[in-house]
Amino acid sequence: MRYCPVGKDDCLLLTEVESLEHDCLRLKALAEIDALTGLYNYQYLIKVLGLEMERTIRTGLPTALIMIDLDHFKQINDLYGHETGNLALKAASAVWTGNIRRLDVACRYGGEEFAIVLPAARLHRALMTAGRLRKILEASPVDAGDTKIFLTASFGVEVFEPDKFSSPESFIMSADEMLLVAKRAGRNRVYYGGAGEKAAATALSLDEKEALLGRGEK
């Protein structure tokens, strides 16, 4: 049986164990990352959203969620091919990660849909973040060789309410419903339709009110 003498720091077995622990941590981290975009994946989204929901219940600090869907993404794949579609997904992901706070968590929900968890963010911050991301994406064409592809996206915003959402999945479903309304209303816009809309509007700037009411997000 192999063993390390007490107090001997240069033991080969100890080095092997430390290497295995490092590999396990690296594999665990990779298991939470979407290979194409480098964003966190669905499993991590569920985990972090559950933690933030618990934090809201415990501390009263708000948690907001933005669901995003790239508009007409199937047309990009059909017209330019899946490799170009992958470039578009990577470009959109770079917009999200480059324009959110360090504590915000950007995830790939699946396909061309994304989710951003905003800890300690009230409605007005979530709306302004979504509006800013929408405008930056629209102004950031993807360089696909001989052509530039202009992307737009639709955004659904929701804020966690302990008496309304019993799980991360129900929270996501509500934000996704807001996203679907944005898409049905013409795409390339931000939508929020929660019960707190009227109260929230009293504390918002003009730009924030327009984002909340759907004006200016065309």
According to the model, what pLDDT value does residue 16 have?
55
CATH number for the domain formed by residue range(s) 35-213: 3.30.70.270
According to the model, what pLDDT value does residue 162 have?
93
Contact 115, 93 (CB under 8 A): no
According to the model, what pLDDT value does residue 14 have?
47
According to the model, what pLDDT value does residue 28 have?
53
Q: Which two tokens stand for residue 73?
A: 């993404």
- The active-site residue, picked from 16, 32, 54, 112, is 112
According to the model, what pLDDT value does residue 146 have?
86
For 38-78, the pLDDT digits (tens) are: 999 999 999 999 999 999 999 999 999 999 999 999 999 99
Domain boundaries, the chain: 35-213
Active site residue 112: yes
Low-confidence ranges of the chain (pLDDT < 70): 1-30, 194-218
What is the distance between the alpha carbons of residues 96 and 116, in angstroms, rounded to a whole number? 8
